[in-house]
Amino acid sequence: MAIYPGIKGKVAIVTGAGKGIGREIALQFAENGAKVVVLGANQSSDVADVAKELVALGAEAISFKCDIADKAEVEQVVQEVLEKFGAIHILVNNAGVYPFAPLTMMPDEMWDKTMKVNLYGLFNMCKAVLPAMMEQKYGKIVNISSTSAMSGSPAMVAYSASKAGIVGFTRTLAVEVAPAGINVNAIAPGPTDSTPGAGIAAFGQERFDQIKNSVPLRRWAENSDQANVVVFLSSDESSYITGQTIIVDGGITSI
């Protein structure tokens, strides 16, 4: 893991930080000396445990239960963060839902929930933090899209549509806020075994291995592969990069 001195002392919010990629992003921010705010959607979220883990590493960290699809909850959390730390420098929009259903069998509620969390949630978070970032003339926003935004996957039409929306959102918001010194970028993860063993449990060993062997680098990504790029995009070393979606997929979309 690279250390970026410019992140030290910065206030970073990470949504969906209770496990997987979000947890690893939070850990890397802590190891870089950031003050970390971890958000989770419900009471069963592990964000409180993640915050304790960050504190044990010597970081200043707090956790909140927050439904990012709920504008009022988002605004309340952001206000509390500003009251505690006085600033918000970094926002990582990692939270998302992953429904699986062919379009002809998809309940309307599934489509609505996917858009509310994956797009409205991102919209709510960005809209809430941007006034503070614009006032301080500094900010880093990193959105988590997916290679599903670029290539079709059966039974993932809602997820793919929402993640493609994130690419367009990122590109356009970057242009809007660039004059205020704010960078907005995204990453598009490919197959990532975000919880050890979860990939095999979800797909079965045969399909898991098929996916692995379809990746030119011949492995699933680890959480650190994704977090490394997010933290770089959150650092001052990426100050001339904005409006971009970095594909982190071991080369699978290059085939």
Alpha-carbon dihedral angle through residues 192, 197, 199, 200, given to the nearest 10 degrees: 140
**Can you tell me the distance from the alpha carbon of 81 to that of 79, in angstroms, rounded to the nearest whole number?**
5
Amino acid at 49: D
**Can you tell me the distance from the alpha carbon of 90 to that of 233, in angstroms, rounded to the nearest whole number?**
10
**Can you tell me the distance from the alpha carbon of 3 to that of 119, in angstroms, rounded to the nearest whole number?**
31
Active site residues: 159
